[in-house]
């Protein structure tokens, strides 16, 4: 079963499949908390915390934005693991957050892994959330959420990409469950709500013409800023070259771009090109390693 909806407000109920519970094993509970503020002309860290297998690195970069790279020292996420990231960007501060590598979600005997990200950006602050892709193994079960709260003068560029099955191994997702939930608020108002949920034989769901027409890699970019709507033609021009299915739309201070590709290599190439052009700067170095 697959369901997908997008709206500017409202509430939704995410169902969870009933499955046979696997034998309880020790599971990871990893958390990162990062707070940054603008001090003079630079963005500086004022709070950092790490638990479990989650780590954070701050490479030296040029320009006004601080760059942060999250690392999962466990090498992947297994059934029942929980990873949480909390980010706060102070007024006038600029932060770019990415991941050291693609995140791998291993097969599950029943339990669901969770990745939860919460972000707060103060007035005149800017966050670019550009993690590398999430790879779902056959029989993986993942629930992912992205909760973003922006003060009225804040801005954010948010990116997430997912690939179903390991193409290099000829793997398809014969079973599994995936739920991806986005909620973005500006001030006290919910301005963007998007939920994608796929369960069952995922490869068959993706093969349908009404869903993905056989594509196995997808990505979403949402840009929230005062100039978002005025940049729609610029965004469409940046999408002109590429091999993935792609499109952009803008409304109510938001600009959304979606990609659908047969493989992650095509999607990464097209999404990276778009973000480089649209942001006016290269993606973090780990994207090119």
Please check whether residue 184 lies inside any domain of the structure.
yes
Per-residue pLDDT band at 25 (split at 50, 70, 90): low
Neighbour-count burial of 186, counting CB atoms closer than 10 A to its CB (0-12 exposed, 13-18 middle, 19+ buried): buried
Q: How would residue 9 be classed by pLDDT, with cut points 50, 70 and 90?
A: very low
Paired with 121 in beta bridges are 89, 150
Does 73 reside within a domain? yes
Q: Determine, yes or no, domain membership for 289.
A: no
Q: Is residue 254 part of a domain?
A: no
The token pair that represents 192 in the structure block? 């963007």
pLDDT digits (tens, 9 = 90+) for 205-219: 888 877 777 788 999
| pLDDT for residue 24 | 55
For residue 85, give the nearest of 66, 96, 70, 100 by alpha carbon.
70
pLDDT at 245 over 80: yes
pLDDT of residue 59: 96
- pLDDT (average), residues 217-235: 97
| pLDDT at residue 3 tops 90 | no
pLDDT digits (tens, 9 = 90+) for 28-40: 899 999 999 999 9
Rounded alpha-carbon distances, angstroms, from residue 241 to 125, 247, 274: 31, 12, 9
Which among 148, 193, 213, 247 is positioned nearest to 4, based on CA atoms? 193
pLDDT at 168: 72
pLDDT at 20 over 60: no
Q: d(Cα 121, Cα 90) in Å, to the nearest integer?
A: 6
Q: What is the average per-residue pLDDT within 39-52?
A: 95
Category of 76 on φ-ψ map: left (φ > 0), alpha (ψ -120 to 50) or beta: left
Number of separate domains in the chain: 1
226 with 252: CB under 8 angstroms? Answer: no
Q: Nearest 5°: phi and psi at 237?
A: -65, -35
In a domain, 205, yes or no: yes
Residue 43 lies in a domain: yes
Q: Is 216 exposed, middle or buried (0-12, 13-18, 19+ CB in 10 A)?
A: buried
* pTM value > 0.85: yes
Domain for residue 112, yes or no? yes
Q: For residue 38, is it within any domain? A: yes
Question: For residue range 161-181, what is the model confidence (pLDDT) as tens digits?
Answer: 999 998 777 788 889 999 999
Q: Where are the alpha helices (DSSP H) in the chain?
A: 202-207, 232-238, 264-279
- Of the chain, the percentage scoring pLDDT greater than 90 comes to 77
Burial class (CB within 10 angstroms; exposed 0-12, middle 13-18, buried 19+) of 180: buried
Give residue 112's pLDDT.
96
Give 43's pLDDT tier (boundaries 50, 70, 90): very high
CA–CA separation, 117 vs 136, rounded Å?
Answer: 18
Range of the domain at 90: 2-6+32-219
Task: Round to whole Å and give the CA distance between 289 and 277.
Answer: 19
């Amino acid at each position: 079963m697959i369901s997908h909806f997008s709206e500017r407000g409202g509430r939704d109920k995410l169902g969870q499949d009933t499955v046979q519970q696997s034998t309880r094993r020790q599971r990871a509970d990893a958390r990162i908390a990062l707070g940054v503020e603008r001090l003079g002309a630079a963005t500086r860290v004022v709070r950092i915390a790490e638990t479990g297998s989650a780590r954070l690195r701050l490479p030296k970069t040029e320009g006004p934005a601080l760059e942060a790279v999250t690392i999962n020292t466990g090498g992947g996420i297994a059934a029942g693991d929980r990873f949480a990231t909390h980010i706060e960007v102070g007024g006038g501060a600029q932060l770019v957050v990415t991941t050291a590598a693609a995140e791998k979600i291993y097969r599950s005997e029943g339990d669901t892994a969770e990745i939860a990200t919460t972000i707060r950006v103060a007035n005149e602050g800017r966050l670019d959330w550009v993690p590398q892709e999430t790879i779902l193994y056959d029989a993986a079960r993942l629930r992912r959420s992205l909760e973003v709260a922006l003060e009225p003068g804040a801005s954010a560029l948010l990116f997430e990409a997912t690939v179903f099955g390991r193409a290099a191994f000829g793997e398809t997702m014969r079973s599994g469950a995936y739920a991806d939930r986005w909620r973005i608020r500006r001030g006290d108002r919910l301005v963007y709500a998007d939920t994608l949920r796929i369960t069952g034989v995922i490869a068959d769901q993706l093969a349908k013409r009404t869903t993905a027409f056989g594509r196995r890699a997808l990505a979403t970019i949402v840009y929230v800023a005062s100039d978002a709507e005025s940049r729609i033609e610029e965004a469409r021009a940046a999408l002109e070259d590429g091999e993935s299915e792609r499109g952009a739309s803008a409304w109510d201070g938001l600009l959304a771009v979606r990609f659908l590709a047969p493989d992650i290599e095509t999607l990464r190439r097209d999404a990276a090109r778009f973000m480089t052009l649209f942001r006016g700067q290269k993606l973090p170095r780990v994207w090119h390693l």
